[in-house]
């Protein structure tokens, strides 16, 4: 099984990759906070608006009606008050490979 890299090993690997990139002539550009969120040099006005949202349609009555129809379609289950006699039960004995060897009856 392959050993997973620890967090410290991942940090060291990333640091080495960054140093190699910078030593090969790469450069890092810094941006002002929020600058990457600008659209054509301006903030996205639609994302920052606090307009009133559209009201949601209440569905509690609809859900109640669906539940009532579903309950009406279900057949009422018969409750059995009689208990079955707990007689002997059949038990299959298996070998180590999952093949049935014999059947025994247990009380």
Q: Please check whether residue 66 lies inside any domain of the structure.
A: yes
Q: Please check whether residue 2 lies inside any domain of the structure.
A: no
- Give the pLDDT confidence score for residue 47 in this predicted structure: 60
| Length of the chain in terms of residues written | 107
Report for 4-8, 36-40, 44-48: range of highest mean pLDDT: 4-8
Statement: residue 64 has pLDDT above 90: yes
When divided into structural domains, the chain yields a total of 1
Q: Given CA atoms 17, 22, 27, 31 in this order, what sign does their dihedral have?
A: positive
pTM (two decimals): 0.30
If you average pLDDT over residues 86-93, what whole number do you get?
88
For the chain, what is the mean pLDDT? 83
Q: Please check whether residue 1 lies inside any domain of the structure.
A: no
Q: Please check whether residue 36 lies inside any domain of the structure.
A: yes
- Give the pLDDT confidence score for residue 33 in this predicted structure: 72
């Amino acid at each position: 099984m392959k050993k997973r890299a620890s967090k410290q090993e991942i940090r060291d690997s990333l640091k080495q990759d960054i140093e190699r990139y910078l030593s090969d002539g790469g450069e890092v550009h810094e941006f002002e906070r929020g600058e990457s969120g600008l659209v054509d040099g301006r903030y996205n006005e639609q994302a920052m608006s606090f307009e009133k949202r559209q009201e949601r349609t209440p569905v509690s009555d609809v859900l109640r009606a669906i539940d009532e129809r579903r309950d009406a379609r279900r057949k009422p289950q018969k409750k059995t008050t009689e208990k079955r006699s707990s007689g002997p039960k059949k038990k299959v004995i298996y070998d180590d490979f999952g093949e049935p060897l014999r059947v025994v009856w247990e009380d």
